[in-house]
Structure 1
Amino acid sequence: MKYKMQDKQNQLIERISDQHLVVGVDIAQQFHVARAVNYRGIVIGDPLTFENDEIGFARLQEWMNELKDSKGHSTEIVGMEPTGHYWLNLSEWLYNQNIDVVTVNPHLVKKNKENRDNTQSKSDKKDALVIADMVKNGYYSFVRPTTEAFEKLRVLMSNRDVIVKRSVSAANQINRWVDVVFPEFKQVFKDVKGKGALTTLRLFPTPKELRSMEVQDIVKGWKTMMKRQPGIKKAQALIQLAKHSVGNNKAHDAYKLHLTQLLEEFNLAATQLEIVEKEVAEVLESISFADKLIGIKGLPQITLGGILGETGDLSNFAHGNSLLRHAGLNLAEASSGKWKGQIVISKRGRSRLRRYLFLATMSLVANNPEFKELHAHNVKVKKMKKMKSIMKLIGKFARLLVGIARSNEPYCPEKVQPLAA
């Protein structure tokens, strides 16, 4: 099936009829501003400023009903920018009132703000009118309502990103602490995040403590916290290195307190990460087609959770190309006359979804026989650069995801094989 974006754009424009009251809402933290136009772009009524609560939302609905009655419209469509998280409550409330809710790209709002008055001025009332014009012209996307499972995945994976950042930050600070206080430590433990290294840092982190200790004391300390210990040789090496350490030997108590707190932060992040990933696995079990996707060899479960958290139900996508556009992985070209510009990805979409699709494809190229063969074919036979091959395979992976979700059939390796030369 050939998928053309122009067909979708035409459908979006045709959807706006002469019976529509087109409303644009400029979103803010406390007060929103609404403007209305008809399908030709003629302004209807006065602007409305309403509160970000149920009373304000009811005022918006009453305002729209009055405009519909006065102008003879039978239905409405409300467009808004997905500004931070402030738009979520309003869109959910309108959706529950059976009102069509759409979003517009904030970048396009900025691009279109001079269409009416040919000035670079900006205000809430003007932005609301620009949004209404964009909806009237078909530059919008429908808000996809998600079920409980997909909403859980979105929240869990967003939470996981925060935890991972904290974990990485704590690990980096622990490395810095070691470099300042006991730089020779890494000669014994190459990875400071390893179990042996972390246990040693908890029990006797500074050279000052190690200098006065015996090998048996160190081994005995390890045995209290680990089933498998690093060994006598490493204990001897630690003591010898501590005796000749060039690390900072001042503010001993302050450095120890700092390290204790860093280790607590790192352990807390590790525990929270384990809980979140367990929850993600449980949610995936409740999604009908998730087991078919997990059956793709080389696709990490947690990465799949990230993809589904960003996309919602994949079976709602008409084609893999619409998923790529949702992620901002569709191609953009700048050409004029004889001049041919470089073709790049647009990046006008969900950045987190782009990241998960890229990570999933890299994992497939490394671990999935079919994708590995496709990548080798692209590089060796078609003479593609490696990154271009990866981007091409992301497109294939997107089509594979949507195809499996829509058909609810298991992964078939034979359909992914490259064509014979």
Structure 2
Amino acid sequence: MKTRWIRKGLGLDISKDYFHACLGGYTQEMEFKVIAQRRFSNSQKGFVELVEWMQKHRKDKALDWQVVMEVTGVYHERVLYHLHSEGYPVCLEVAKRVKRYMQSIGHKSKNDKLDGRGLAQLACERKLVRWAPVSPQIHAIRTLLRHRKAMVVARDQFCNQLHALKHAASDERIVERSLKQMIKTLDKQIEMAEDLVIKRTKQDAAFYNKVRMIVDSVKGLGYITVLTIVAETNGFKEFTSIKQLVSYAGMDVVENSSGKFKGKTHISKQGNARIRAALYMPSLGIIREKTEPFYSLYMRLVIRTGGIKMKGVVAIQRKLLILIYTLWKKDEPFDPVRYITVQPEPKTMVPEREVAPI
């Protein structure tokens, strides 16, 4: 008897040199079955073979389906872009969510075949958010900013090593000179990267004017901060609400209570850490300079929480993120007087649509 399928899905478990593809589906009896699976090289030749293999096994073209893969550093990017350019519905999921799904369906072991099968089953069971590529300009800006951030982290490490060396018992001048040279070189490279970011931004006059408008109107925000937020969110194109954005940045509040037990609330941190990092130093600057109307919010929260300053800092970070999003969407400068009178958006119990990794 011929098997009747109600939904199909393709899972791709990707590594550096190859990836494992598993095509599965659900029958009318709601049983998941593997239709076909194969290993391909993670190269242009492998991508072409994958498309031919999919066309061979997808005879019922009208049946709803999607391709699912998880974020694996940069190894997934080439096959992701190739399948998207060919018009296939691709979905990109973060590793932690995939891991929890695998655990929920009873997968205890881990190998390429099991992971491919699990991703195929996920593709059949869930209607996931379709992945869409960022614009070439934002992609270039994001790459430069991430490179700059990596150099800043490296420079800070060398500065810490130099500080420790100056206070250590040993006095190695060669090491000290080497560290100073590394710091000097990185300072030049960081400055060069920042200049390239601004030049790349100015290539689109409308884009640059939008960024400059926000920087000029909000005291405490600089070009690097605003550009990082815009680049990491793809210009907020996939976001339709503040709640979505806050969740994407990992700043949504997680409650821990049951019955009479009342645990501590904290932000989830299950989102884009680069956004949170970009907003940290501007928040400290606003607090140090007592910039209004944000400083009053900080003090209010510190008093309410019994002197926990970090909660006030996180609140400022969240407020700045929402402010950048609002000004970008409305294409208008910041008005402090209007900001104070604006009421917060009403809370809703309707779940927000998730945004795919960018």
TM-score, with normalisation over the residues of structure 1?
A: 0.70
Q: 1:175 to 1:376 in 2, by over 3 A?
A: closer
Larger CA Rg, structure 1 vs 2: 1
Q: How far apart, in 2, do the equivalents of 1:361 and 1:177 lie?
A: 31
CA distance in 2, matches of 1:180, 1:338: 53
Deviation at 1:341, TM superposition (A): 3.0
Residues 1:358 and 2:280 are matched in the alignment: yes
1:164 aligns with 2:164: no
Say whether the 8 Å CA contact 1:321–1:398 is kept in structure 2: no
Within 5 Å, which residues of 2 pair with 1:89-168? Answer: 89-116=78-105, 118-138=106-126, 140-168=128-156
Q: Following the alignment from structure 1 to structure 2, what is the Cα–Cα distance between the partners of residues 91 and 41? A: 28
SS in structure 2 of the partner of residue 304 of structure 1: helix
Name the aligned partner's letter for residue 43 of structure 1: K
Q: Secondary structure at the match of 2:109?
A: coil
**What residue number does 2:223 align with?**
301
1:397 is matched with 320
Q: Shift of the alpha carbon at 1:345?
A: 1.7
Distance 1:284 1:364, change over 3 A: farther
Distance 1:377 1:48, change over 3 A: same
**Cα distance change, pair 362–56 in 1 and its aligned pair in 2 (3 A):** same
Task: Label 1:399 to 1:166 Cα distance change in 2 as closer, same or farther (>3 A).
Answer: closer
Q: How do 1:321-332 and structure 2 match up within 5 A?
A: 321-332=243-254
Kept after mapping to 2: 8 A contact 1:19/1:72: no
State the AA in 2 paired with 1:53.
Answer: S
Contact conserved, 2:165 with 2:176, CA < 8 A, in 1?
yes
| Secondary structure of the corresponding residue to residue 38 of structure 1 | strand
Aligned mates of 2:122, 2:337 — CA distance in 1:
44
User: Greater helix percent: which structure?
Assistant: 1
Give the distance between the partners of 2:154 and 2:332, measured in 1 at CA: 39
The change in CA–CA distance for 1:380 and 1:416 in structure 2 (over 3 A counts) is: farther
User: Is the 8 Å Cα contact of residues 25 and 80 (structure 1) preserved in structure 2?
Assistant: yes
Partner of 1:292: 213
1:52 aligns with 2:10: no
Matched residue, 2:19? 32
Count of aligned positions: 330
The answer to whether the 8 Å contact 2:34/2:117 transfers is: no
Partners of 1:307 and 1:356 within 8 A in 2: yes
- What residue is the counterpart of 1:268 in the other structure? 185
- Deviation by residue 1:230-253 (Cα, 9 ceiling, x = unmatched): xxxxxxxxxxxxxxxxx85xxxxx
Change (3 A) 1:323 1:357: farther
2:58 partner SS: helix
2:149 maps to amino acid: D
Q: 1:388 aligns with which of 299, 311, 314?
A: 311
What is the CA–CA distance in structure 2 between the aligned matches of 1:384 and 1:101, rounded to whole Å?
A: 47
8 Å Cα contact 1:371/1:416 also seen in 2: no
The aligned residue for residue 22 of structure 1 is 9
Residue by residue over 1:350-396, the C-alpha shift from the partner in whole angstroms, topping out at 9 and shown as x without a partner, is: 22222123333333444432212332344458978433333333333
In structure 1, distance between residues paired with 2:260 and 2:296: 37
- 8 Å Cα contact 2:32-2:121 kept in structure 1: no
Structure 1 gaps of 5+ residues are: 1-17, 182-246, 249-254
List runs of 5+ in structure 2 lacking aligned partners: 344-358
| Residues in 2 aligned to 1:352 and 1:268: alpha-carbon distance in whole angstroms | 24
**CA–CA separation in structure 2 for the residues paired with 1:147 and 1:319:** 21
Give 1:161 deviation, angstroms: 2.1
In structure 2, do the counterparts of structure 1 residues 366 and 175 end up closer, same or farther at CA, with 3 Å as the change threshold? closer
Give the residue type in structure 2 aligned to 1:290.
Answer: V
Letter in structure 2 aligned against 1:392 = A
Deviates more, 1:309-318 or 1:283-292: 283-292
Measured on the aligned residues, the alpha-carbon RMSD in Å equals 2.9
Q: How does 1:365-376 map to 2 (within 5 A)?
A: 365-367=287-289, 368-376=291-299
Q: Identity of counterpart residues, as a percentage?
A: 24
2:67 is paired with a residue whose SS is strand
Distance across 1 between alignment mates of 2:305 and 2:165: 49
Residue 55 of structure 2 is aligned to residue 68 of structure 1: no
Q: Map 1:188-267; keep pairs closer than 5 Å.
A: 255-267=172-184
Give the C-alpha shift of residue 112 in structure 1: 2.4
Matched with 2:332 is 409
Q: In structure 2, give the amino acid aligned to 1:62.
A: E
Task: Give the TM-score normalised by structure 2.
Answer: 0.81
1:318-341 superposed Cα distances (whole Å, 9 cap, x missing partner): 122212211222222233334333
Measure how far apart 1:278 and its partner are.
1.4
CA distance in 2: counterparts of 1:37 and 1:397, whole angstroms: 44
Question: 2:356 matched to which residue of 1?
Answer: none
Residue type at the aligned position of 1:396: K
Q: Give, as a single letter, the amino acid of the residue that structure 1 aligns with 2:198.
A: A
Secondary structure in 2 matching 1:396: helix
How far has the Cα of 1:114 moved from its partner?
Answer: 4.1
